[in-house]
Amino acid sequence: MTLRLHDLDLRGFASDNYAGIHPEVLDAITAANQGHQIAYGEDVYTARLQQVFAEHFGDQAQVFPVFNGTGANVVGLQSMLPRWGAVVCTSTAHIHTDEAGAPERVGGIKLLTVDAPDGKLTPELIDQQAWGWGDEHRAQPLVVSITQTTELGTAYTVDEVRAIADHVHSLGMKLHMDGARISNAAATLGLPLRAFTTDAGVDVLSFGGTKNGLLYGEAIVVLNPSASEGLHYLRKLNMQLSSKMRFVSAQLIALLTDDLYLRSAQHANAMAARLRGALEAGIADGSIQGVGFSQETQANGVFATLPAGVADRLREHFRFYDWDASRNEVRWMCSFDTSEQDIDDFVAALTRELATA
Ligand SMILES: Cc1ncc(COP(=O)(O)O)c(C=O)c1O
């Protein structure tokens, strides 16, 4: 029987979750796949995971493995809010644009959005929506959610996160971080995970795994226990309680062991830098014309603008998404298994398409 149905030569830059499972993660799943363990998180892997997260984020950290990033965000945010609470976020935040309304429809959470050209909130931008407490007509802004690295491939510095946390807390609000790509942030900042989370004042974190080599699995991490309640019940209520949790936990342990999270993210970031560097070199020597960059490349994504029609022709060979089709803006994401050859092939194909544009 043929088990493999796909073409191994098909490579792309659509998303970091197009990549498969990192071999070290697959080994961890295999190692956990022996004998019986208690279901629903009462297993030894989930107990060990709690220790691992405490080592990375501090002794007070509590970890709740879930299936996916949308689930981590929706359940984590619910645990931070009363029924009348609202969340301030950017208009490009994944919770706003790419979760099918789950925060609103499943979580019952009003989102209050702010435009942020580079995907990053600031205290000043937060103030555009952080007002109206006590007004019974206004959904109460009680949480701010930032994404690290952002949906636009940029990264908050420690000082930027701390300034936001201080501001948010001074307003009596709490700070949530969507860390679907938190490893890429650690890699670009060159800092331990806790430096720009726990130590910078983040209260609750969605810790990403899937985009960095897991089969599937993310975690809600409570960094400030007084900022969250009810997760013991909310996970099941929101269909995010895995019965075979040992396999999610084993993967997350592998990710946080021997710096796998960092090695993989450093590689993905380096491949994005290679792509950006090659394109900039081509622009400088005139071999590439018509390409512009719409964001800084600070992690594993490159955001670019192309002459009309080029993206569609290139997509016949490499998958990637339009980001804003109205201005021919595209997004190219690199993953832990993007190779230098992938980048070089892609740059060569783009150069050929531009020459015929
Ligand atoms: C910023 C961000 N947050 C969260 C997610 C998690 O999404 P999913 O529910 O697909 O795991 C993603 C995935 O695209 C993302 O880019």
Considering 258, 279, 312, which residue would you say is the last residue of a domain? 258
Please check whether residues 253 and 296 belong to one and the same domain. no
Question: In this structure, is residue 6 part of a structural domain?
Answer: no
How far apart, in whole angstroms, are the C-alpha atoms of residue 333 and residue 344? 15
Considering 258, 274, 296, which residue would you say is the last residue of a domain? 258
Please check whether residues 32 and 88 belong to one and the same domain. yes
CATH number, domain at 297?
3.90.1150.10
* C-alpha 20, offset from chain centre: 17
Determine if ligand 1 sits within 6 Å of the CB of residue 251.
no
Determine if ligand 1 sits within 6 Å of the CB of residue 199.
no
* C-alpha 305, offset from chain centre: 23
- Ligand 1 centroid to Cα of residue 284, in Å, is 35
Helix spans in the chain (H): 23-32, 44-57, 69-78, 94-97, 102-105, 123-127, 158-170, 182-189, 231-237, 245-255, 260-285, 310-314, 340-356
How many Cα atoms sit within 13 Å of 115 on the Cβ side?
Answer: 1
CATH number, domain at 181?
3.40.640.10
Question: In this structure, is residue 11 part of a structural domain?
Answer: no
* Per-residue pLDDT at 2: 79
Determine if ligand 1 sits within 6 Å of the CB of residue 70.
yes
Determine if ligand 1 sits within 6 Å of the CB of residue 210.
yes
Question: In this structure, is residue 214 part of a structural domain?
Answer: yes
Number of H helices, E strands in the chain: 13, 11
Question: In this structure, is residue 231 part of a structural domain?
Answer: yes
Count of the separate structural domains present in the chain? 2
- Ligand 1 centroid to Cα of residue 199, in Å, is 24
Please check whether residues 249 and 270 belong to one and the same domain. no
Considering 191, 225, 258, which residue would you say is the last residue of a domain? 258
Determine if ligand 1 sits within 6 Å of the CB of residue 43.
no
Please check whether residues 213 and 336 belong to one and the same domain. no
Determine if ligand 1 sits within 6 Å of the CB of residue 212.
no
Residue 42's CB is within 10 A of a number of other CB atoms, namely 11
Tens of pLDDT along the chain (357 residues) come to 678 999 998 899 999 999 999 999 999 999 999 999 999 999 999 999 999 999 999 999 999 999 999 999 999 999 999 999 999 999 999 999 999 999 999 999 999 999 999 999 999 999 999 999 999 999 999 999 999 999 999 999 999 999 999 999 999 999 999 999 999 999 999 999 999 999 999 999 999 999 999 999 999 999 999 999 999 999 999 999 999 999 999 999 999 999 999 999 999 999 999 999 999 999 999 999 999 999 999 999 999 999 999 999 999 999 999 999 999 999 999 999 999 999 999 999 999 999 987
Containing structural domain, residue 48: 22-258
Please check whether residues 92 and 42 belong to one and the same domain. yes
Q: Which atom of ligand 1 is nearest to the CA of 99?
A: 9
Please check whether residues 191 and 291 belong to one and the same domain. no
Token code pair at residue 294: 């719409």
Please check whether residues 100 and 234 belong to one and the same domain. yes
Amino acid at 73: N
Q: Which atom of ligand 1 is nearest to the CA of 71?
A: 9
Question: In this structure, is residue 3 part of a structural domain?
Answer: no
* Per-residue pLDDT at 356: 87
- Ligand 1 centroid to Cα of residue 34, in Å, is 31
Cβ atoms of 88 and 242 closer than 8 Å = no
Please check whether residues 42 and 173 belong to one and the same domain. yes
Question: In this structure, is residue 99 part of a structural domain?
Answer: yes
Please check whether residues 317 and 201 belong to one and the same domain. no
Please check whether residues 280 and 251 belong to one and the same domain. no
Please check whether residues 345 and 225 belong to one and the same domain. no
- Closest C-alpha residue for ligand 1 atom 7: 69
Please check whether residues 245 and 306 belong to one and the same domain. no
Q: Which single residue is written with the structure tokens 């706003």? A: 96
- Ligand 1 centroid to Cα of residue 197, in Å, is 18
Phi then psi for 298, rounded to 5 degrees? -110, -10
